[in-house]
């Protein structure tokens, strides 16, 4: 990478005004100029940040729509296995991770505001499909897989939103701005997991809201978020801006794939954001499998996931801007290193709590089918089941605290890793010419564009964790779902040890260039 940037980079062309699409374009944008920032830049950047957060928030909610609804499908009359439900949770994350690349490259091509309008309107498709098919329990599983895949468009919103906001803020404020933008989006996960059970007529809010006697109405959530997506498109259209300074050709952005730090940071982001989105998607099913039993929709015992599943995403979202702030203050690499130490400790603690659980007896499938067909034939829970579930419920608070500790670490790591990326690229630009020279100015401008591209690539690769984690939990090669979940946490802890070593080797190793510039 040094050899690529050490020669004076070419100035990226700005499209002439006559060649641009219509819309709210800003031609002169100099956030690093203190006078410009105080007089003009700050207010404009803040306005774009606010509405970017709103659109990204809805994107995350739609992206994780299936994380909570999958756990409710059996109550709505769908006969899906735990492995199938984990696939419904995982597939949107896979599609969302793949879409993050084109969404990132779309911002310099079409403009941040224009793409925000388009990406918001795209959310109407998965929400209306959801609303239509959750009313039809006879729908084949493969159709639900396709429908769940369309929710991946919500995952793409993050990449375009972050790439756009990166251009609006000066380097000294990028960590906080990107942290706030990402946190607002991440909160969409917590919001959908908290409110969806309540909206559709289920229990929620720690039991303060009781389940509707008329049953679940899952389609309500789809219609609501389709309407909100239209609102997000309108607010982006009227209140956001495109920046001419962000213009770049896709091939210029793709040039960052040859830099080693693009892939190092992408790998680390799998450990932070991949863990956040993967655990968030899987948490409702994790609680249901380990701490809850409901052989028929009208009878249940144990911990209701709807009361607690949203807490993980909430904690991870709230701590994300803290990670950006800590990285601004102490250095992104140091904060990221500490994050992986915390994640190792937290993951092993979660594993330990799971080893303390008792095995809950499960009735034969034919009996469950008979009880479901005729609920009055259900004899009630046996003393063995009641004893095991009560014991596991006593373990649940320790499981929850340990898991929330992991979520807090992922949030901080999300903020710190994204703070590292602009600094890494700016550090190479500082090698080009003396301060104030045209060569230095061109290099710094190019570094901002390349950093935005890397943010998108890292976001895409990192989001793959949202697919891999639920699949690891489901482990179709393991017959017992509880054993599969327990073993998965050992795999994750080992992975975090590798992330810890990579962080030290590339960004904290004594006398290395990245250590000297304080990445």
Kindly report, residue by residue over 253-288, the tens digit of the pLDDT: 677 788 888 899 999 999 998 899 888 888 888 888
Instruction: Give the tens place of pLDDT for each residue, 170-180.
Output: 877 877 787 78
Instruction: Give the tens place of pLDDT for each residue, 407-430.
Output: 999 999 988 887 888 788 777 777
Instruction: Report the range of poorest mean pLDDT among 152-161, 181-190, 312-321, 424-433.
Output: 424-433
Q: Which of 203-207, 275-279, 369-373, 460-464 has the highest mean pLDDT?
A: 275-279
Q: 42 pLDDT exceeds 60?
A: yes
Give the pair of three-digit tokens for residue 319.
């701590």
* Cα–Cα dist 461/265, whole Å: 10
Burial of 272 (0-12, 13-18, 19+ CB in 10 A): buried
Please count the other Cβ atoms lying within 10 Å of the Cβ belonging to residue 66: 28
Question: Residue 22: which residues within 8 A CB-CB, separation 6 or more?
Answer: none
Residue 7 has a pLDDT of: 35
Higher pLDDT pick, 340 / 164 = 340
Residue 309 has a pLDDT of: 83
What is the average pLDDT across 41-52?
Answer: 92
Q: Percent of the chain scored above 70 by pLDDT?
A: 87
Question: Can you say how many angstroms the Cα of residue 77 is from the centroid of all Cα atoms in its chain?
Answer: 29
What is the average pLDDT across 371-385?
Answer: 82
Q: 10 pLDDT exceeds 60?
A: no
332-355 helix and 383-429 helix, angle to the nearest 10 degrees = 170
Q: 329 pLDDT exceeds 90?
A: no
| pLDDT band, residue 8 (cuts 50/70/90) | very low
Burial 21-48 (b: 16+ CB within 10 A, else e): eeeebbeebebbeeeebeebbbebbeeb
Residue 476 has a pLDDT of: 52
Q: Percent of the chain scored above 90 by pLDDT?
A: 28
Instruction: Give the tens place of pLDDT for each residue, 478-500.
Output: 456 677 778 889 999 999 999 99
Instruction: Give the tens place of pLDDT for each residue, 121-142.
Output: 999 999 999 999 988 888 899 9
Q: 401 pLDDT exceeds 90?
A: yes
Residue 203 has a pLDDT of: 60
pTM higher than the cut 0.85: no
Residue 3 has a pLDDT of: 35
Of the candidates 511, 466, 454, which has an alpha carbon nearest to the alpha carbon of residue 264? 454
| pLDDT band, residue 210 (cuts 50/70/90) | low
Residue-by-residue DSSP string for 158-197: HHHHHHHHHHHS-HHHHHHHHHHHHHHHHHHHHHHHHHHH
**Domains detected in the chain:** 28-516 (1.20.1250.20)
| pLDDT band, residue 213 (cuts 50/70/90) | low
Higher pLDDT pick, 448 / 308 = 308
Residue-by-residue DSSP string for 316-363: HHHHHHHHHHHHHHH-HHHHHHHHHHHHHHHHHHHHHHHHTPPPPP--
What is the average pLDDT across 331-340?
Answer: 92
The mean pLDDT of the chain is 82
* Cα–Cα dist 103/312, whole Å: 27
């Amino acid at each position: 990478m040094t050899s690529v940037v050490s020669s004076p980079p070419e100035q990226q062309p700005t499209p002439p005004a006559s060649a641009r699409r219509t819309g709210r374009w800003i031609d002169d944008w100099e956030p690093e100029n203190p006078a410009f920032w105080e007089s003009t830049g700050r207010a404009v950047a803040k306005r774009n940040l606010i509405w970017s957060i709103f659109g990204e928030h809805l994107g995350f909610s739609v992206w994780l729509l299936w994380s909570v609804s999958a756990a409710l499908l059996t109550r709505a009359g769908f006969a899906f296995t735990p492995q199938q439900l984990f696939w419904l949770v995982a597939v949107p994350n896979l599609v969302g991770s793949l879409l993050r690349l084109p969404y990132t490259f779309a911002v310099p091509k079409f403009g941040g505001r224009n793409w925000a309008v388009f990406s918001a309107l795209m959310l109407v498709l998965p929400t209306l499909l959801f609303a239509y098919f959750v009313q039809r329990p006879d729908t084949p599983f493969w159709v639900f897989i396709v429908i769940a895949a369309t929710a991946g468009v919500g995952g793409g919103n993050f990449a375009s939103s972050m790439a756009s906001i990166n251009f609006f803020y000066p380097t000294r404020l990028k960590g906080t701005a990107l942290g706030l933008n990402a946190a607002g989006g991440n909160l969409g996960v917590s919001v959908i997991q908290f409110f969806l059970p309540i909206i559709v007529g289920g229990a929620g809010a720690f039991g303060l809201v009781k389940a509707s006697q008329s049953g679940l109405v899952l389609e309500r959530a789809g219609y609501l978020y389709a309407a909100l997506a239209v609102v997000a498109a309108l607010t982006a259209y009227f209140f956001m801006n495109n920046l001419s300074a962000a213009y770049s050709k896709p091939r210029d952005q793709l040039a960052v794939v040859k830099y080693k730090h693009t892939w190092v940071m992408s790998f680390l982001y799998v450990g932070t954001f991949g863990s956040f989105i993967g655990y968030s998607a899987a948490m409702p099913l994790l609680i249901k499998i380990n701490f809850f039993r409901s052989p028929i929709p009208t009878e249940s015992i144990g911990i209701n996931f709807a009361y607690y599943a949203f807490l993980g995403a909430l904690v991870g979202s709230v701590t994300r801007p803290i990670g950006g702030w800590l990285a601004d203050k102490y250095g992104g690499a140091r904060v990221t290193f500490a994050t992986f130490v915390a994640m190792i400790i937290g993951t092993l603690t979660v594993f330990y709590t799971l080893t303390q659980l008792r095995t809950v007896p499960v009735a034969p499938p034919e009996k469950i089918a008979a009880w479901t067909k005729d609920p009055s034939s259900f004899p009630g829970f046996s003393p063995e089941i009641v004893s095991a579930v009560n014991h596991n419920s006593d373990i649940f608070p320790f499981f929850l605290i340990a898991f929330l500790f992991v979520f807090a670490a992922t949030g901080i790591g999300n903020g710190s890793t994204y703070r590292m990326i602009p600094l890494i690229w700016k550090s190479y630009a500082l090698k080009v010419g003396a301060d104030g020279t045209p060569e230095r100015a061109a290099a710094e401008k190019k570094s901002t564009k390349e950093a935005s591209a890397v943010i998108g690539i890292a976001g895409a690769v990192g989001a793959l964790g949202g697919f891999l984690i639920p699949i690891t939990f489901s482990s179709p090669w393991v017959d017992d779902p509880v054993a599969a979940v327990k073993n998965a946490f050992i795999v994750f802890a080992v992975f975090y040890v590798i992330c810890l070593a990579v962080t030290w080797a590339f960004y904290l190793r004594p006398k290395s260039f990245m250590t000297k510039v304080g990445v």
